[in-house]
């Protein structure tokens, strides 16, 4: 049977990473963020009054929604107008997440398959509850005797988010206008010095989706997950400084660590999905199997 303490910790992680949907969250008081009548996010109640200062960009709240003004009728106009507001708000002290300004733009659209309606500074997306997309690569090896191990990274102690936590061999946000597979190859090369010829072998296997609230701001996220079998003789190397070290660990050790506070939470979710897909977690022995699967694929 499954380890009940391990299972409970994983359930708690999934609840925390989906807490926007739980009773008592700020969801009931958030405003829908709409562009051309389509919802693209959730604006927390403390953000809406700040946006009301900019009536040429944001229409007053109506029917539970805050909309961009209809005069902003193109991708370029919307992106430029909202960026101007954000550059002003950035100078204020009360918006914690804007202090982590990245100069990296994310696409804004109702669904991933829809054409982007605008782009937005990455650190501002949580002010608008805009879905952030990323790529995660499960780098693993298979021994000659068929034993699986996984490469994990230890994040740099100077990272803005989750410094020093365990992470994937490569992962990163999906910037506006950049393809998914291109991002996989780029992150593999930059973070782990994995040559493109190897990284190109990564296979798309899943998406993981969840929405959580942190410090009153909303984080809907969806990760494109890839599995990459690495040659036994290959060893990742620290590349762009976002990682301080790499470890090759037996899959049972990875399973143990994934329920600890040492893991970056969304990476723990991606590894949980890996464990399920590769039958290291099975419904006969894990009573919360269905809860695990459901918690990895929560959409609003």
As a CATH number, domain 26-128 is 3.30.750.160
CB 120, CB 89: distance < 8 Å: no
Q: What is the pLDDT of residues 102-159, one digit of tens each?
A: 889 999 999 999 999 999 999 999 999 999 999 999 999 999 999 999 999 999 998 8
Q: How far is CA 265 from CA 182, 227, 261, in A?
A: 24, 19, 8
Copy the structure tokens of residue 212. 């959580």
Q: What is the mean pLDDT of residues 247-262?
A: 96
Rounded Cα distance, 83 and 67, in Å: 15
> What confidence score (pLDDT) does residue 2 get?
57
Considering the chain, what is the average pLDDT of its residues? 94
User: How confident is residue 161, by pLDDT bands cut at 50, 70 and 90?
Assistant: confident
> What confidence score (pLDDT) does residue 215 get?
87
Instruction: Name the 3-class secondary structure at 115.
Output: coil
Copy the structure tokens of residue 218. 């909303």
Rounded Cα distance, 136 and 187, in Å: 9
276: phi then psi, degrees, rounded to nearest 5: -70, -45
Q: Same CATH topology for 4-21+132-295 and 26-128?
A: no
> What confidence score (pLDDT) does residue 17 get?
97
Domain boundaries, the chain: 4-21+132-295, 26-128
Using alpha carbons, select from 215, 221, 206 the residue that is nearest to residue 270: 206
CB 143, CB 232: distance < 8 Å: yes
CB 257, CB 271: distance < 8 Å: no
Rounded Cα distance, 282 and 293, in Å: 11
- Residues paired with 38 in a beta bridge: 35
CB 32, CB 38: distance < 8 Å: no
Q: Which residues make Cβ contacts (< 8 Å) with residue 224, sequence separation at least 6?
A: 133, 134, 135, 136, 174, 180, 184, 204, 207
Q: Does residue 171 register a pLDDT over 60?
A: yes
User: How confident is residue 1, by pLDDT bands cut at 50, 70 and 90?
Assistant: very low
CATH of 4-21+132-295, one of 1.10.10.10, 3.90.79.10, 3.40.50.300, 3.40.50.2000: 3.90.79.10
> What confidence score (pLDDT) does residue 203 get?
98
209: phi then psi, degrees, rounded to nearest 5: -130, 145
Rounded Cα distance, 7 and 292, in Å: 9
């Amino acid at each position: 049977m499954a380890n009940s303490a391990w299972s409970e910790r994983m359930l708690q992680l999934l609840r925390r990473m989906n807490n926007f949907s739980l009773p008592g969250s700020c969801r009931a008081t958030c405003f829908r963020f709409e562009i051309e009548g389509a919802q693209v996010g959730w604006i927390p109640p403390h953000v809406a009054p700040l946006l009301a200062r900019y009536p040429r960009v944001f229409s007053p709240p109506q029917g539970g929604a805050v909309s961009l003004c209809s005069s902003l009728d193109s991708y370029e106009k919307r992106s430029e107008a909202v960026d101007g507001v954000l550059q002003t708000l950035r100078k204020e002290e009360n918006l914690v997440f804007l202090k982590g300004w990245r100069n990296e733009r994310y696409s804004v659209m109702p669904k991933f398959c829809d054409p982007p309606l605008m782009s937005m500074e990455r650190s501002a997306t949580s002010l608008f509850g805009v879905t952030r997309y990323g790529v995660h690569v499960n780098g693993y090896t298979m021994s000659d005797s068929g034993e699986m191990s996984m490469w994990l990274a230890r994040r740099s102690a100077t990272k803005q988010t989750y410094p020093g936590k365990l992470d994937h061999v490569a992962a990163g946000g999906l910037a506006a206008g950049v393809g998914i597979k291109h991002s996989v190859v780029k992150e593999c090369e930059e973070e782990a010095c994995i040559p493109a010829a190897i990284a190109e072998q990564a296979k798309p296997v899943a998406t993981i989706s969840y929405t959580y609230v942190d410090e009153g701001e909303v984080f809907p996220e969806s990760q494109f997950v890839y599995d990459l079998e690495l040659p036994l003789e290959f060893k990742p190397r620290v590349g762009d400084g976002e990682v301080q070290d790499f470890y090759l660990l037996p899959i049972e050790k990875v399973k143990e660590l994934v329920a600890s506070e040492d893991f970056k939470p969304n990476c723990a979710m991606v590894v949980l999905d890996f464990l399920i897909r590769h039958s290291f977690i099975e419904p006969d022995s894990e009573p919360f199997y269905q809860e695990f699967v459901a918690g990895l694929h929560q959409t609003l």
